Structure 1
Amino acid sequence: MDKQQARQSLTELFTRPFDQERYQLFLRNLLNQYEPRNGHYTGNLIPDAFKQHIKQYWRIGKYVDPDGHELDLLIVEVKSLNKLERARSALRNFAVNRLKQFEKEASLIAFYAEDDRGADWRFSFVKIEHEAYQDEKGKIKLKQELTPAKRYSYLVGEHENSHTASKQLLPLLEMDYADPRIEEIEAAFGIEKVTDEFFDQYKALFQKLAEHLKRQASFNHEGEEARDQRVSRFAKKLLGQIVFLYFLQKKGWLGVSKNQPWGTGSKRFMRERYDQVMKTDGNYHRDFLQYLFYEALADERKAQPDPGYYARFDCRVPFLNGGLFEADYDWHNEPIDLPNTLFHNDEKNKNGDVGTGILDVFGRYNFTIKEDEPLEKEVAVDPEMLGKVFENMLEVTERKSKGAFYTPREIVHYMCQESLIHYLDNRLNRYATLELAQPQGDLFGEPGVQERQGTEHIKVPRTDLETLIRKGHLALENDTRVMSKGKETDTYKFQLPESVRQHAEAIDAALADIKVCDPAIGSGAFPVGMLHEIVNARMALAPHSGNQESAYELKRHAIGESLYGVDIDASAIDIARLRLWLSLIVDEEDYSQIAALPNLDYKIVQGNALIGIEVDLFNQEMLNEIEKKKNEFFSATNHDRKSDLAATINDLIHETMHGQACFDFKVYFSEVWHQKNGFDVVIGNPPYFSIDTFGANSSVQAYLKKNYFVYMDKSDIIFYFFEKSAKISHGVISLITSNAYLSATKAKRLRKFLVDNNLIRIVVNFEKYMVFKEASITTAITFLYPSTDQPRYLNLPHNNYRKDDLNGLLVDDKNYVMAEDWSDEAFVLADKHLKRINDAIDFGKPKLSTIYKVGSGMQTGCNSVFVNPPSDIPKKHIKKRMTGEIIEKYVATEPKEFILYIEDIDSFDRLHESIKKYLLANQELLKNRADKKRRSTAKWWNFTFPMHKEYYNKQKIWCSYRSITNAFCLDDSAEYIGLTNTTVIFDVNTKINFKYLLALLNSEILSYRYSFIGKRTGNGLLEYFENGVGKLPIIGTARGIQLSVASIVDYVRQLKRTNLQLATLYFQQLIDGMVYELYFPDEIKAANKEILPHLGDLTPITDVMTDEEKLAVIQREFDRLYDPRHPVRNYLETLDSVEVVRTIREALKR
C-alpha cells in the first residue's frame, strides 16, 4: 500500500466510530495475511469474572509472524463507556486470561462501548512478558512462570486525534513486501517516540514564546539575566497552564453549557474559543486566555446561584484554586499581548505537519488523564510525560550545571515501592539482631550463615508486604468480589496474603500516617510516584480494612498529610505542584460539585535543601501557630483570606528563623518533627555536579565545609544530599545518584559517614547501563536506614538491559550479595562468585602502591604553552609526550606530541635564550594560571606541579587515565613525560622484575580485578588514577619464573613492531596462562593445566642482537611452544575448562 493510501486508511479508521468491517480490512492490510476465525462469545461463554464489564466479544483471527509467534485478533464490546475508561485492569486481565488459556503471548484487540456506539474506542496491543532473572554467572535469563501482561493502547474515534497512531502504524501498513514481526507491532505502540516528538515540538514552542516575550516592555525593567529568568518562568508556566487545560477539556470540564453537568463540555474548547476570538479580530491571549486564567478559573464566584457559570464566556468553567491560575503580573492594566500566530498558523514543521502554534501542536496529540502505570500504557500525552518534558526543557549546558535529569518511570516505581515496603516492615514488625553464626565458605563453597539473635514479633512477613505493594492493585477486583459473596469458594479465593488481610486496618493506618520528602523535587516524579503507590495499596486494602474513601479522597489526604518537597528552581516547584493537582483531578468523580484544588505553597517549597539555619532550638509556640495557619491555608479558597494567611505564615517563619532568609526543614515542615522527629521516607534524584561549580570562595562552599562531615575538596553535591537526608529522616532513604561515591577518593568521608552510622543497607549499581542516557554518567540506587544488618548489593554489569527486564532483576532477593568489610575505602561490588575470586586474588598479596612508586603525570597548568613548543628550542629540552592515544599493552607507538621540559633548571636566567623569549611572550598567560596564589612570583615560568620529577630518570610503566581495560606500556628510555591524563609507575623495587610487573598489569586476571576497583565512566571506560591502580594486588614468585615471564614480555614487545600477529597473540595468551597459574596454583594443578613446569628454558633476546637475530630466537621458541603436541599449547587451549578462568573471562566480556 502506498503512503497516501495508507494515511487515508488510517484516518478513516481512527477518526470515526468503531466499524468492524473497516477494522478487519485494516488488519488484512496491516498483517498482509491472517487466518480468519468466526468465534462469537456472549452470555455464559464470558468468564464470570468479566461479565460485569464485557457484553460480548469476537475472535476474528489468528496471525503467525515470520518467527512463528502467534497473535490473537479480538474485538471486545464493553458494557459502558465508563468501563472502557476506568475498568482498565479488568479488561487487561480479560486479555491475559485468554492468552494463558490458549497459550499465546500477544493479541491485538479493539475495545469499544455499546452506550456511545463505539464513538471513542481503544486499539490495544496486549503481551505477556516473561520475568527476567540473573543466573549464577550473571547472565540474564527468563523465568518460565508468567508475569501480568502489559497493555498498550491508542485512544481513537471521532473525539480523538489520529496523528500519533497514524504516524507510528504507517510504516507497517506500507510494508507490503514482508509480514511484520510481533516485536515490530509492539514497537508501533511505543511511547518513547511520542515523548521525544512531543518534547521537540514543546521545546520549539517555548523558544518561540520566550523570544517574543523578551521583546515585551513589561519584561525589560531589569537586567538581562533577571529578564531571561522571568521570561523563562512565564513561558514555562503559560505552556504548563495550557497543557493543564487540555487535560481538563479531556474530562469535559471546560465550556459546559449553562445548567448542564460537569463532564459535558466540549473536548475542543480551547480551539473553538480561538476561532470565536478570530471572528471579532481579537487577541487570543489578551481577550481570552487572561480572562480564562485569572477570572474564570481563579475566582470563586460563591455568591452566584451557579458558582460554575462565567458570564463573559456564557458557559460553566470550574473554580480551581491552588495558585496555578493566580496572576503574578497586573494583567488588567499591563496585559501581555502575544500574537495569535503563536497559537495557530499554517506553517509546516520538519515532519510536514501543518501548524506550528501552541494549539496546533497540542491539537495533534491525544491527551489522557490517566497517569501511566507499569502494566497499562496509553500511547498519548499523560501527566507523567510533563515531568520528562520539563526536565528536558533545560539546554544541555544548563542541565549539566544544574544536574537535573529526569528519572525514568520504571526506576521511580521500584524506588517508591521498595521504600514503602521497608517503611511498613519497620512500622509493623520487630526483628532481632542479625549476627554471623559461622564464617564464610571457601572460594566456590557456600557463604557464611547468618542468624537472628533475640526475640522478634512479626505481624506481616516482609514477603507479604511485597505482595501487597507490588501486586495488591491486581487483587482489588478479585478480593472485592470474594467479600461480596461473604466467603471464599473453590472458584473465588482471596489473592492478598492472609497476614495482610488480618492486619489491613493497621497497614492502612500506617500508610495514612507516612511522611515522605523529596529534597530535590524537580518535576515531582517521586512524590507523584509515592502518591500512586500509597493510594494503590490503600485501595487494595479497602475490602479488608473497611476504609471506603474514594481514590480522590485518599489522594487529597496523602497530598495534605504525607508528601513534601523542596527545590531550588522556581519552575520545578511550578511543575511539581501542577503534577500533583493533575493527579487529583484525574480521580475527581463528583461532577455535581468540583472540589477546589489545595494550596501547596507550604508543602512543595522553593529553597536550598542543603542550607539551613544554624539554630537547634526554635520557639515551639510559634511553630504551633505556623502549623495551625498552614493547615487552614491548605484548604483556603478566598483570595483575600489566602493572602492574609500567607503573610502571617511568612512573618512567623521569618521571626522564627531570626530573619535569616533561607529554607529550613524544621521550620517549614515543623509538623513532621512535631509528630515524628523526621520523615519516614526521604526519596529522590539529587542534582549531579561538583561543588567547585559554586566557586572556591563562595558562601555555599564555606557553609558546606563548616556544617557537613562529608566535606572534601572537589566533592560532588550529591554527597551532601546523603548527609542531609540522614539528618531529616528517621526511616528509609532512597536516592538515585552517580555511582562515583562507591569508589572515588573524594567520597572517602561520605563512605565513612555511611559505614560508621550503620546506614547503608542496599546498593544497586548500574555498572554500565545508562539510566540517564543524556547525562553520560553511570548511576546507583542506594537505600539507607539504621540497622545492624549487613549491607547487600546488586551489581548490574551489562549496558543493554531491557526496561521490562530490570524490575524482575531488582526485586529478586536471590540476585543480591551480602557486603563484607565495607569501610571508607572503595566499596567493592561483585556477585557472590566474583567476590570470592576477588578475595582469592587479593589474599596475602601486597598492593602495588606499597611496593612501587605510583603517581599521576605532571601538571603544567598551561598545556597550550608547554605542549608542542616552537622548533627553535634545543632538542635536549624537548621530551616525548606519553598519552592514552599511543599507549598499547606493553608498548607505546610513536608520540604525536612533545613537551617543553625545563624542571631540572632552577633559575630563569639559566634558560636558553630561545626558551626565555618564548616564555616571556606567554608571560601573562603563565602568571594567571589557577595556582597563581600558591606560586611565588619568581617561579611563574615552570610547571604547576612537576610531580615525582626526581624519579623520571628511572624506567616507567604508563597507562592512560581512561581505558576500556588494562593497557600498560613500558618506557625504558626515560624519554617520555606524561601529564595529568596519565598514570605512571616508577621502577624503584629491586626484588621484582619490572617487565614481570608489566606482564601482571596487562594480564586478564588484573584486568578483571581492576574492573572492580576503578570507577567506570558513562561511556563504559574505566578510570586509571594512581589511587585505583595502586590497589592492584601483586604476586611475587621465584626469580627464575620472573625472568621467564620477562623474556616473553620482550618477545611481545619485539613482535609488536612486526606483522606477526599469530605469534604476538599466542605469547600474550601464554603470559595470561602463566599468571593464572601464579594466582590460582591449586585450581590449575587440580585441573592438570600447569604451564610453568612444561615451559622449558626460554632463550632471552638482548639489546646487542640485531632485529633479525631477535626474531629468529622468537620464531624458534614460538615453533617449539606452538607445536600441537606440546603440553603448553594443549593446556592454553583448554584453560577455559578451569572454572575460575572461565568465570573471569566471561566477566571480562561483559
Structure 2
Amino acid sequence: MDNRTLLKKCIDEFSKENLVNVFRRICPKYSYQEENYSHYLDKYAEKIKSLQKLGSAEDDEASRLLFFMGEIKGLYSSQTGKKMQYELAKEILKAENYDAGLFAFYDSAGNFRFSLVHALYSGKKRSFNNFRRYTYLVLKNTPNKTFLNQIGKSELSSMDKILEAFSIEAVSKDFYAGFQPKFEKIASVIRGDTALTEDARRNFALLFVIRIVFLGFIQKKGWMGGSKGFIQDLWKEYKESKDIGDSFYKEWLEPVFFTILNSPPGKKCLSDDTPFSEATKKILDSAPYLNGGIFTRNEDMDTKGRYIPDKEIEDFFEFLFQYNFTIEENSLYDEELELNPEFLGIIFEQLVNKENGAVYTPRTEVDLMCRLALAKWLEKNSSSEKNDIFHLLFREGGRGDEFDKDQKTGDFSLNQINELTNLLENITVCDPAAGSGAFEVGMLHVLNEIVEELHRKQGDSKDKLRDAAFERKKNMIANSLYGVEVKEWAVWINHLRLWLTLFIDMPDEFKTSEKPLLPSLNFKIRCGDSLVQKLGTKPFPVHGHAELSQTLKLKITELKKIKLDYFNNSGVKQKIIKQMEKALFKLIMDEEISRLKSTLAGNIFNEDTQLSMFADGIDEYSEKQLSISDAYKKKIETQIAEIETQKKSLSAEHPMIWNIEFPGIFFDNGGFDIIIGNPPYVRQEKIEDPTGKLSASEYKKELQDMVRLDFPKHFPPKKKINAQSDLYTFFYIRSLHLLNPNGIHCFICSNSWLDVGYGAWLQEFMLKNVPMHYIIDNHSRRSFASADVNTIISVVGAPQSRLNMKDYTVKFVAFKRPFDEAIFTENLLEIEEAEDIVSNDIFRVYPISNRKLFDEGAEYEDETQKTLGAADYVGDKWGGKYLRAPDIFFTILKKGKDKLVKLGDIAQVRFGIKTGCNEFFYVEDVTDLIED
C-alpha cells in the first residue's frame, strides 16, 4: 500500500492504527512507543479531551521528532481550538527538549488537523527563541488534495525534508503547476461580440478567476444559505437542467455576480425567467450584499457580450474545488497550508507578474520591513522612548513563544498610549509599486496587532477586541493604506487581498446587512504609472509649494469627504469623483495662471525663483528682490503657455497624478508618513513605458526628467544621471519625494546599486540628502531565490534640504541567521546602540557616517580640494566592503589604519581588456538547475 492510499484510508477512517501506519510509512526513522500524555492537559481541558504520544524519531543530524494524537471536544471548524493546540504542542516540545513534533488533533467525526510544530533556535547554542507551526486541516468528504499531494509524496527522513513537506513554497508550486494551464486555457477560449486582444482575454479570465475564488471564500464561511459547496451545486443544477449549451456564464453566473451579490438580502431582483430552482432561489435571496467593486460590472470587461464556454468552466471548477479553502490569513509563526488569501496572492503574482520584474515578497521580509519602518517613524514622531517602541513592535528571543506572558511590550504612560494609538490609527502608508498587495496587507496586520495591544494596555477585554476587529481594520484601510500599481490586473488582486482580509473578520450577523459589506477601493489602490505623469508634453510634478487659496482648500476638503463616502458605499458614483478630480485639476491650473499673470501685471519676484507650482523645488525669496526683466517676463509667459496646453490636454481619463489622486496627503500633510515596497527588478535595457504610449528611449528620457523635476537642486540639467541605471533606482528617487519631512522610506530591492557604476549617482544623492538608518543584508537566506537577484533592505528618512553629512550615520547590517531566527528586540536594540563594529553569531553591524562614506567614494585632484570638500563622487563598493566582506577585512583595516593607502593614490588604475560579452566568455555552472 503506497503513501497516498494509506493517507486516504486514514482520512476515510481515522484511528490510532491508521495514523501509526501513516507515521511508519512516511518517516523511515519512526519508532512506535505509546504513552498517555493527558497530564499536560490541565490548562487545555476546555478544548482538548485526550492526548497520546505515539512515538519518536531521530535523523542523521540528531534532530529529534515526537508524534502525537489528540482528541478535541466538539467538531472542527477552521478555528476550533487552534491556538490552544499550538500552545500545548509548544509546551510539550520545550519540556521534552525535542526539536519538532507531528500532531494529529481529531474530532468525533474523524476530521483532523495535521500539524508540524518545530523550534526556532538562537545562535550556535540552540536555545529556544520561538516555534513555528504548519498545518493541513483534513476534512471528511472533501478532496484534501494539498494534504494528499504533499504528504503522499514525501519521505520524512530528515528535518529538511519534513520542513519541505510542510512548506508554503512547495504547496504553492504544486498548486500553480495545475492552475496555470487551466487559466491559460480559459483565456484562450473566451468569446464575445467583438474580437479580443491577448491582454483583453487574460484580463477577462483573471477577473473571472478572482470572482470565483471570492465566491469560494463566501461559501466556505457558510454565507450561501449554509452551503459550503454552493458553486459546485449550482453547476450540477445547471448540468441537470434542460436548456444547456455554453449558457452557464451568461445566464447563471452573471446574475449571481451582478445582481445577487450586489443587492441586500431579501431584496434580490431576479427576473421571472431565471433558470434557478426554488431551492437555489431561496439561497440566493439570502446571499450577502457585498458590492465593493468586485461584483460590479466592469465597463471594459462585462459589457461586451464576453463569456467562457462550459467545458473550460467545468474543468476549472473540478481543479479548484479539489483544494480546501481556509478563511484566515497566515501569521508569521502559524501557517495554514490550504487556499488562504496569502497563498492566492503568491499564485496570482506568479501567474502575471514575473515577466514585469515584480516578485512576491515573502511574509517574513514584509513583516520585518513594516515593523522597522514603524519603529523609526514612531521614534521620530512620538514622545515614547526608543527601547519601549522596539519592545512594542518586536518580540524578545529566548522566551519560548509568541504568547509568553513575560514578553515586554513597552512601558508607556496613559498619555503615551493615547498618543501612539492616535498616531497609528492615522498614519499614512503607500506602496508605489503595489503589485498584489503584500505590503498593504502586511502593514494592515502589523498596525492591527499593535493598536490591539495598545487597547489591551488600556484594559479592553479579549471579547471587545475581537468584536472590534472588522471595524478597526476597515478604518485602517480607509485612513492609512494607499498604493499605486501600473497593471490593472494587479490592482484587482490587491483589492481582493484587502477584501478577503476584511471578510475573515466580518461578524456572522453581517450576512443579513442591508448595506454593502465591502468598501470600494478604487480610490485607495490606484492604477497608474508612479514614475511618469504628463499632461500634454509637460511633466506634472508630485507637489508644488505655492500658496493654496481658500477656494482650493475647500475643494480639496470636499473631495476627501466624497472619496471617503465612496469608500463606505454611501451612494457616491465613481464618475462623480472623476469629474471632481478633473475640476480640481482645472482650478489648480487656473489659479496658477492667475498668479503668474498678476506677476506680469507688476508684482516683484526674485528672478532665481521658479514661480509655478508645476516646477518643484521653489526656493525661499532672498532679501534682494529684482524687478522683472524682459527675459524673466518671457519665462513667465512660457510657463503660462505650458499650463494652458496642459489644460487643453485634460480629459476625464487623465494620467495618475499623485497630488490629485491623494490631495489630502500632499496638500494637508506634505506627503506620506511611510513609503514601503518592493520595486520591480527591470534592467535598463528592458525598461519600457508600461502604458505603451512612449517608445523605450522616450520613456527613459522621461524618467531622467522626473528625477530633475523632483530634485532640481541636486540634479540640474548638466548633472549626469547614468543611462545604465535599472528601473528601481528611479523608484527610489520618486518615492523619496513622496514623503513628508518626518517620513520614513523602506525598500527591499536589488543590491546592485551598492557596488556597480550606475549606482554612484544614487549613492551620492543619498549621502548628500538622506538620513540613512539601515542597509540590511542576509547572508544565511536569500529573500528571492526565484528572482535571480540578490537583495538588501534599506530604511532611510525623508530627504533634507541642508543635510550635514558629518551628523548622520548609516548602519550596514549583515545578518548571519535567517531573519526569523534573528529579528528580536535585544538584537535590534544592540544594532541601534552600536557606535563601532559589532560582530557576533547573529549579525554584524558596521556604523559609518555619510561624510566618511562620501570621502571613500570621492576623487580629489589635490589636498587643497580635499580640505575644501570639493570633489567628484565616483562611487564605492558599499556592498562588498560593509556587508559581504569577512570579519578579517575589518581587523586588517583597524590594525593597519596608519599603514594602508588607496592603490589609486600611488598608482594609475586602468581597465585591462573588456570582453564586451561576459555571457559568452563566462560559463555558468547550471548543474543545480537540471531536473532529474
**C-alpha distance in 2 between matches for 1:332 and 1:741:** 44
**C-alpha distance in 1 between matches for 2:230 and 2:73:** 28
Deviation at residue 762 of structure 1 after TM alignment: 0.5
1:464-613 equivalences under 5 Å are 464-467=391-394, 496-499=409-412, 503-546=416-459, 548-549=464-465, 550-592=468-510, 593=512, 596-612=517-533, 613=540
TM-score, structure 1 normalization: 0.61
Q: 1:31 to 1:840 in 2, by over 3 A?
A: closer
Q: 3-state DSSP class of the match of 2:308?
A: coil
Contact kept, 8 Å, 1:766 with 1:778, in 2: the verdict is: no
- Does residue 1:728 correspond to 2:738, yes or no? yes
Deviation at residue 604 of structure 1 after TM alignment: 0.4
Q: 3-state DSSP class of the match of 1:822?
A: helix
| Aligned AA (2:793) | I
- Does residue 1:851 correspond to 2:769, yes or no? no
- Does residue 1:669 correspond to 2:669, yes or no? no
Q: 3-state DSSP class of the match of 1:765?
A: strand
| Aligned AA (1:818) | P
Q: 3-state DSSP class of the match of 2:795?
A: strand
User: Whose RCO is larger (CA < 8 A, sep 6+)?
Assistant: 2
Match of 1:58 among 52, 56, 59: 52
Match of 1:109 among 95, 100, 103: 103
- Determine the structure 1 residue equivalent to 2:91: 97
- Determine the structure 2 residue equivalent to 1:341: 311
Q: 1:82 to 1:650 in 2, by over 3 A?
A: farther
Deviation at residue 739 of structure 1 after TM alignment: 1.0
Q: 3-state DSSP class of the match of 2:447?
A: helix
Deviation at residue 239 of structure 1 after TM alignment: 1.1
Contact kept, 8 Å, 1:459 with 1:503, in 2: the verdict is: no
Contact kept, 8 Å, 1:508 with 1:545, in 2: the verdict is: no
Contact kept, 8 Å, 1:14 with 1:162, in 2: the verdict is: no
Deviation at residue 103 of structure 1 after TM alignment: 1.8
**C-alpha distance in 2 between matches for 1:704 and 1:647:** 25
- Determine the structure 2 residue equivalent to 1:1067: none
- Determine the structure 1 residue equivalent to 2:810: 791
Structure 1 gaps of 5+ residues are: 132-140, 222-226, 257-264, 345-356, 431-457, 480-492, 864-882, 887-959, 965-1016, 1021-1150
Deviation at residue 418 of structure 1 after TM alignment: 1.3
**C-alpha distance in 2 between matches for 1:532 and 1:609:** 25
| Aligned AA (1:634) | F
- Determine the structure 2 residue equivalent to 1:763: 775
| Aligned AA (2:577) | A
**C-alpha distance in 1 between matches for 2:414 and 2:110:** 41
Q: 1:112 to 1:720 in 2, by over 3 A?
A: same
Deviation at residue 39 of structure 1 after TM alignment: 0.8
Match of 2:252 among 288, 303, 308: 288
- Does residue 1:373 correspond to 2:352, yes or no? no
- Does residue 1:819 correspond to 2:783, yes or no? no
Deviation at residue 108 of structure 1 after TM alignment: 1.5
> 1:942-976: CA deviations, max 9, x gaps?
xxxxxxxxxxxxxxxxxx8x999xxxxxxxxxxxx
| Aligned AA (2:359) | F
| Aligned AA (1:206) | F
Deviation at residue 86 of structure 1 after TM alignment: 5.8
Q: 3-state DSSP class of the match of 2:666?
A: helix
Q: 1:773 to 1:459 in 2, by over 3 A?
A: closer
Q: 1:64 to 1:766 in 2, by over 3 A?
A: closer
Q: 1:715 to 1:551 in 2, by over 3 A?
A: same
- Determine the structure 1 residue equivalent to 2:607: none
**C-alpha distance in 1 between matches for 2:566 and 2:109:** 45
**C-alpha distance in 2 between matches for 1:19 and 1:362:** 29
**C-alpha distance in 2 between matches for 1:567 and 1:471:** 40
> 1:445-472: CA deviations, max 9, x gaps?
xxxxxxxxxxxxx386344234469999
Deviation at residue 142 of structure 1 after TM alignment: 3.1
Report the aligned-residue RMSD: 3.7
- Determine the structure 2 residue equivalent to 1:424: 378
**C-alpha distance in 2 between matches for 1:646 and 1:46:** 58
Deviation at residue 20 of structure 1 after TM alignment: 3.9
Q: 3-state DSSP class of the match of 2:723?
A: coil
Larger Rg: 1
- Determine the structure 1 residue equivalent to 2:562: 629
Deviation at residue 89 of structure 1 after TM alignment: 3.4
Contact kept, 8 Å, 1:424 with 1:465, in 2: the verdict is: no
- Determine the structure 2 residue equivalent to 1:927: none
Contact kept, 8 Å, 2:491 with 2:527, in 1: the verdict is: yes
- Does residue 1:781 correspond to 2:793, yes or no? yes
**C-alpha distance in 2 between matches for 1:277 and 1:53:** 42
- Determine the structure 2 residue equivalent to 1:393: 351
**C-alpha distance in 2 between matches for 1:162 and 1:240:** 22
**C-alpha distance in 2 between matches for 1:629 and 1:250:** 34
Deviation at residue 721 of structure 1 after TM alignment: 1.7
Q: 1:279 to 1:334 in 2, by over 3 A?
A: farther
Q: 3-state DSSP class of the match of 2:124?
A: strand
Task: Give the share of equivalent positions with the same residue, in percent.
Answer: 23
**C-alpha distance in 1 between matches for 2:111 and 2:914:** 70
- Determine the structure 1 residue equivalent to 2:145: 163
**C-alpha distance in 2 between matches for 1:501 and 1:835:** 46
> 1:486-534: CA deviations, max 9, x gaps?
xxxxxxx685444488844333222212111101101110111001111
| Aligned AA (1:120) | N
**C-alpha distance in 1 between matches for 2:570 and 2:237:** 31
Contact kept, 8 Å, 2:396 with 2:407, in 1: the verdict is: no
Q: 1:234 to 1:852 in 2, by over 3 A?
A: same
**C-alpha distance in 1 between matches for 2:151 and 2:300:** 48
**C-alpha distance in 2 between matches for 1:750 and 1:856:** 27
| Aligned AA (1:715) | S
Q: 1:267 to 1:217 in 2, by over 3 A?
A: closer
**C-alpha distance in 2 between matches for 1:182 and 1:691:** 42
Contact kept, 8 Å, 1:602 with 1:668, in 2: the verdict is: yes
Contact kept, 8 Å, 1:89 with 1:474, in 2: the verdict is: no
Q: 1:557 to 1:51 in 2, by over 3 A?
A: farther
Deviation at residue 562 of structure 1 after TM alignment: 0.7
Q: 3-state DSSP class of the match of 2:675?
A: strand
Q: 3-state DSSP class of the match of 1:142?
A: coil
**C-alpha distance in 2 between matches for 1:78 and 1:495:** 32
- Determine the structure 2 residue equivalent to 1:748: 760
Contact kept, 8 Å, 1:460 with 1:500, in 2: the verdict is: no
| Aligned AA (2:754) | L
**C-alpha distance in 2 between matches for 1:841 and 1:386:** 54
Q: 1:745 to 1:759 in 2, by over 3 A?
A: same
**C-alpha distance in 2 between matches for 1:19 and 1:653:** 69
| Aligned AA (1:275) | K
Deviation at residue 657 of structure 1 after TM alignment: 6.0
Contact kept, 8 Å, 1:522 with 1:567, in 2: the verdict is: yes
- Determine the structure 1 residue equivalent to 2:636: none
**C-alpha distance in 2 between matches for 1:688 and 1:840:** 40
Structure 2 gaps of 5+ residues are: 271-278, 534-539, 590-646, 689-695, 716-720, 832-837, 855-872
Contact kept, 8 Å, 1:388 with 1:406, in 2: the verdict is: yes
| Aligned AA (1:514) | I
Figure out how many residues of one structure are paired with residues of the other and give that number. 769
Match of 2:298 among 293, 313, 328: 328
> 1:1021-1050: CA deviations, max 9, x gaps?
xxxxxxxxxxxxxxxxxxxxxxxxxxxxxx
- Determine the structure 2 residue equivalent to 1:145: 127
Q: 1:566 to 1:850 in 2, by over 3 A?
A: farther
**C-alpha distance in 2 between matches for 1:713 and 1:673:** 30
- Determine the structure 2 residue equivalent to 1:837: 892
| Aligned AA (1:126) | V
| Aligned AA (1:370) | E
Q: 1:41 to 1:578 in 2, by over 3 A?
A: same
Deviation at residue 859 of structure 1 after TM alignment: 9.3
**C-alpha distance in 2 between matches for 1:677 and 1:498:** 32
Contact kept, 8 Å, 1:129 with 1:149, in 2: the verdict is: yes
Q: 1:98 to 1:428 in 2, by over 3 A?
A: same
TM-score, structure 2 normalization: 0.75
Q: 3-state DSSP class of the match of 1:338?
A: coil
> 1:472-491: CA deviations, max 9, x gaps?
99766x76xxxxxxxxxxxx
Deviation at residue 609 of structure 1 after TM alignment: 1.3
- Determine the structure 1 residue equivalent to 2:23: 27
| Aligned AA (2:730) | Y
**C-alpha distance in 2 between matches for 1:243 and 1:702:** 41
